[in-house]
Structure 1
Amino acid sequence: MNYYPIKKKLNVLLLFCLAIAITTIHPVLAHKVQVAADVGATLHLEPNDNPRAGEPTQAWFALTRKGGQTIPLAQCNCRLAVYAEPHTPSEPALLEPSLQPVAAERFQGIPGAAITFPKPGIYQLQLNGKPAKGASFKPFNLKFEVTVAAGTANTQSVQNVNSNVAQETTSTLPVWAIAIPGLALIGIFFVVLQKTRRS
């Protein structure tokens, strides 16, 4: 039995998986989903699920019951607590932002809060809720892990002699710095694929 064609296909598959894994290292984050009892929640952070330290972040939670029925903030006695990771269970919350009803995407009146994370790092958002009068769902405790990037930094403050205006510079990763490694991996993948087809 000739195992060479199978080995070739496995090598190509392995290379493809490696290329996908490497090109998705840069955070391309989707909404985070958690479920507890009969309630599920989708967390979204503005802008683009990529919060930055020292900058206001709008967080909202699309709460739903089993079956997809939305739970607005008016039907939930909800509380949001923010912890810096790692933390102990007895540790007080770093922040307890007040929840407000927000309209986001197709949801109306869902819990939302403005959060300003103090520094870069990993945080845990805990959303606890009990049904308000007239609502029928089980109490829940949902935990979301959030990675906060460095915010806008005043890396240099230069005084212009003519206008006495301070200039700020910010540090961001240019698009080309993300695209070039991805294109290189795709090119390598096609070269290896062509060589394995010729063999």
Structure 2
Amino acid sequence: MSIFDLKAQYVKYGEYHANPINIISHQIFVPSIQWSTMGFFSLTGPLMEVPSFLLPLFGPSMLNIKMNFATIMALSRICYFITLDYVAAMLYTPILLIMLSTSSHVMETFQYPKLLMSFIFFISWAAQVAGHYKFEKRAPALLDNLIQAFAMAPFFVFLELLFMLGYRPAFHKEVSTLIADKVRIFHANRASAKKKE
């Protein structure tokens, strides 16, 4: 399965995120995991100078940007998401840049930023894991696909929101059908395995 195949990747993600309550939980907690992670990654300090070709793309506000690990992560994600779905990636880019800016600001200005980010990070992960076991009745996707869990989950959560708003209805219908089939097969196999015990 190619990491650049949106349909295959989204279906794999969807297998673990089919329950409506778990989907809502992810809409809340995946962004907070990403935001707090960016905050911690901003502590690396500048790793290099901001490439001059980036300055005109974002205007004067980029003049104060630090090219730390959080910034490199954000820019890498934007590039990757563009390969998956250009329109959705362009809609997601401002959100990601706001998350980058605000998480870095918190780390630079709050009195106890590491404590705050740690609290948000661990509560968010606890909610995610609990949601998978309680509502999906299965382990989180990160146990099967670590790259997808960390690199793609924020974008797929955003895509879910776009689908709810009517974005790419034919694609959404196609992947929803494939996801429902995968979930049904998983639970049938699980029930069969329990009967054999």
Q: Which has the larger strand fraction? A: 1
Same fold (TM over 0.5): no
Higher helix share: 2
